[in-house]
Amino acid sequence: MQIDPDGWLSGAEHIASPNFDQRESAIELLVIHNISLPPGEFGGEGVERLFTNTLDRDAHPYYRTIPQGRVSSHFYIRRDGHLIQFVSVLQRAWHAGLSVWQRRERCNDFSIGIELEGSDFVPFTDAQYKALHELTIALRAAFPIRGIAGHSDIAPSRKTDPGPCFDWQRYLALLSA
């Protein structure tokens, strides 16, 4: 896997999100998230539809509780390890919201967002750790990544993801092997 000159990863499915804008800072941070729509249900198209502004708010009662807004992430890793890219890494995806990392605000400006299909209450799969590891290696080869953080690390008063079921030790051990 590698990043092409337009910021798209070879080996990933590409589903373009309209929810991005110009990046004006160097990429220094990876932000790990978890998401499932509806919460705790896996395998549907809710996340893809949310990131492409095509979510049918009448398709599930939970969808009506999601604030109207536009969100995206650069990458989404399904439970089976399938990798989808929504936004070029050269663009600024809208994944972190109000956030701070090492006293720098607006983490979207200098980060890449990676969503794992999951929740705070279910362990992630071997396939997801494998895909996340390979993606991280490719991103580190292309950019001067200085840090990796959970969404909860950069927005602790609002977010809990990737949650207590994300095995940071396992992930970091894969990266150091």
Query: What is the predicted pLDDT for the residue at 103?
Result: 93
**Short-list 72, 47, 76, 79, CA closest to 135:** 76
Q: Which residue has the tokens 């800072």?
A: 25
Active-site residue set: 115
pLDDT in tens, 90-106: 999 999 888 999 999 99
Measure the CA–CA gap between 72 and 93, rounded to whole angstroms.
Answer: 6
Q: What is the pTM of this model?
A: 0.95
Is residue 1 one of the residues assigned to a domain? Answer: no
Rounded to an integer, the average pLDDT of 107-125 is: 97
In a domain, 145, yes or no: yes
Q: Side-chain half-sphere of 39: how many Cα atoms within 13 Å?
A: 9
Residue 7 lies in a domain: no
Q: Is 8 part of a structural domain of the chain?
A: no
Q: Quick one: pLDDT at residue 85? A: 98
For the ranges 14-18, 20-24, 79-83, the lowest mean pLDDT is seen at 20-24
The sheet with strand 83-85 has its strands ordered as 13-14, 83-85, 75-77, 111-117, 29-35, 147-150
Q: Classify residue 4: in a domain, yes or no.
A: no
Residue 57 lies in a domain: yes
Question: pLDDT tens digits for 34-78?
Answer: 999 999 999 999 999 999 999 999 999 999 999 888 999 999 999
**CATH code of the domain covering residue 171:** 3.40.80.10
Number of structural domains (the chain) is 1
Range of the domain at 73: 13-176
Summary mean pLDDT of the chain: 95
pLDDT digits over 146-170, tens only? Answer: 999 999 999 999 999 999 999 999 9
Residue 71 belongs to a domain: yes
6 found inside a domain? no
**pLDDT value at residue 68:** 81
* Helix (H), strand (E) at residue 75: strand 75-77
